[in-house]
Amino acid sequence: MIARRRFPGSPASLDALCRRFGIDNSNRTLHGALLDSEILAEVYLELTGGRQPDFAIRPHRVRMATRRERCQAKPNGDARPRKTPLAPRITEEERAAHSAFVAELGDGAIWSRFD
C-alpha cells in the first residue's frame, strides 16, 4: 500500500521494489519467510525514509501527513457509534484487583485519574 501510494502505476512486488531501490535479492530463488522478511524490512526502510547514510537531519522525500491531519481524517467506511454499548468483559474481581493495584501507585500516578 505504501509503495502503491508513493509510486502510483508502478509495480509494487517485492522484486520490483528491490530493483527500484538497488537491494540485493539474488539469494531469493525460492520464497522463504525469513529471507523475504529481511528483504521486506530493507524495502520498508527505503519507502519510509528510515535509511539514512549519515547523521544529518533531512526532510522526507515524500510529505507525510501531520498528526493533526491524521486525527482529522475521515475513517474509511461508515464508522458509527453503537446504539447500545458493549457489555464490559472484566469481572468484578478483576476490577477490584486493578483498583487495589492503582491505589498502591499513590495519588501522583497517572492511572489514579482514570480509575
What is the per-residue pLDDT across 54-102, written as a single tens digit (0 to 9) for each? 555 555 455 556 666 655 655 555 567 788 888 888 999 999 998 898 8
Domain count, the chain: 1
pLDDT of residue 94: 93
Q: What angle do CA 49, 41, 32 make, to 5 degrees?
A: 155
Tell me if 65 is assigned to some domain: yes
Residue whose C-alpha is closest to residue 42's, from 68, 18, 58: 18
Tell me if 9 is assigned to some domain: yes
Quote the cell numbers at residue 3: 509503495
Instruction: Decide: 17 and 25 in contact? Cβ < 8 Å.
Output: no
Is residue 98 part of the annotated active site? The answer reads no
| pTM over cut 0.75 | no
The three-class DSSP label of residue 34 is: helix
Tell me if 100 is assigned to some domain: no
- Quick one: what percent of the chain has pLDDT higher than 70? 70
Q: Which of 24, 31, 72, 83 is catalytic?
A: 31
21: containing domain: 2-54+61-72
